[in-house]
């Protein structure tokens, strides 16, 4: 099974600041990679995905992620945090979810 | 489009009992995956069904079994329930024609074992 590491189970940023959520995966072959978001008391929603092609992937709500094979990383970023971004974020290589990062946005 | 629907939404069972959870995939999807999400944890992959067969399986005991029907809907069965089986069970559907590259999740079934 592929494993994934999300550094930082809790991340706090100020409103308007850069959001950076880290994800490193372990695999011998380039996987499909996804970021999912889970808002409080809501279901999981796909933010963005990398399959093949362009390594910089843009998703919904202004998020993007860059697939870096040499670093086995797929970090999620957003230039300016909004209060509505507060949620749990999961990095997912194929079927296996990371432990998640809880994002808090401070007004 | 109703999306992925799961039933029931909540369930309380006694230790040792058996439970069946149900999932209807999003229209046009043919692959169903099941996950267990314990409180404060990320979803853990249980297994995936395609063409009525289990195609992938995570690290779960044989007490967890499933089935997929010709209409692509699916059931998750858990036998000999343990207190530790209390969790949110999520179903996700996808389309193998797109390489299963986007999974849509249902709202889940909250199982409590007492």
Nearest CA in chain A to B108: A43
The pair of structure tokens assigned to B50 is 């395609």
pLDDT of residue B1: 66
The residue among B43, B60, B94, B99 with the most chain A CBs within 10 A of its CB, best to mutate, is: B43
How do residues A21-40 score in pLDDT, each as one tens digit? 999 988 665 568 899 999 98
> Residue A28's pLDDT is what?
62
- Which of A6-15, A93-102, B37-46, B59-68 shows the lowest mean pLDDT across its residues? A93-102
Across the A:B interface, residue pairs with CB atoms under 8 Å apart total 42
DSSP letter assigned to residue A79: S
Structure tokens at B74: 């699916």
- Any idea what DSSP says for residue B28? T
Query: In angstroms, what CA-CA distances link B67 with A102, B77, B78?
Result: 34, 8, 12
Q: Using the beta-carbon criterion (under 8 Å), do A49 and B108 form an inter-chain contact?
A: no
Summarised one tens digit per residue, pLDDT across range B1-29 is 679 999 999 999 999 999 999 999 999 99
Per DSSP, B29 falls in state -
- The residue among A53, A57, A95 with the most chain B CBs within 10 A of its CB, best to mutate, is A95
Confidence at residue A31, expressed as pLDDT on a 0 to 100 scale: 66
B35 touches chain A (CB under 8 A): yes
Give me the numbers of helices (H) and strands (E) for chain B, helices first please. 0, 11
Strands B104-105 and A101-106, bridge-based pairing: unpaired
A49 → closest Cβ in B90, B102, B108: B102
Residue of B nearest to A36 (CA): B103
How close B10 comes to chain A (CA, Å)? Answer: 14
pLDDT at A70 over 60: yes
The structure tokens 């695999």 sit at A27
Q: Name chain B contacts of A21, Cβ cutoff 8 Å.
A: none
* Model confidence pLDDT, tens digit, residues B59-93: 999 999 999 999 999 999 999 999 999 999 999 99
């Amino acid at each position: 099974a592929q494993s994934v590491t999300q550094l930082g189970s809790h991340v706090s940023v100020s409103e308007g600041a850069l959001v950076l959520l880290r994800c490193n995966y372990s695999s011998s072959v380039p996987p499909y990679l996804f970021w999912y978001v889970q808002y409080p008391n809501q279901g999981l929603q796909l933010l963005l995905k990398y399959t093949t092609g362009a390594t910089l992937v843009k998703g919904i709500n202004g998020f993007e992620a860059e697939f870096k094979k040499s670093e086995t990383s797929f970090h999620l970023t957003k230039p300016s945090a909004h209060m509505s971004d507060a949620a749990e974020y999961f990095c997912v290589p194929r079927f296996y979810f990371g432990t998640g990062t809880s994002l808090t946005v401070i007004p | 489009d109703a999306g992925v629907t799961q039933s029931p939404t909540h369930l309380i069972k006694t230790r040792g009992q058996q439970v069946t959870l149900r999932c209807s995939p999003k229209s046009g999807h043919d692959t169903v995956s099941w996950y267990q999400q314990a409180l404060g944890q990320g979803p853990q992959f249980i297994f995936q069904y395609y063409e009525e067969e289990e195609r992938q399986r995570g690290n779960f005991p044989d007490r967890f079994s499933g089935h997929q029907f010709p209409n692509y809907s699916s059931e998750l069965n858990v036998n000999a329930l343990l207190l530790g089986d209390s969790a949110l069970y999520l179903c996700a559907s996808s389309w193998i024609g797109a390489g299963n590259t986007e999974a849509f999740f249902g709202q889940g079934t909250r199982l409590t074992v007492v």
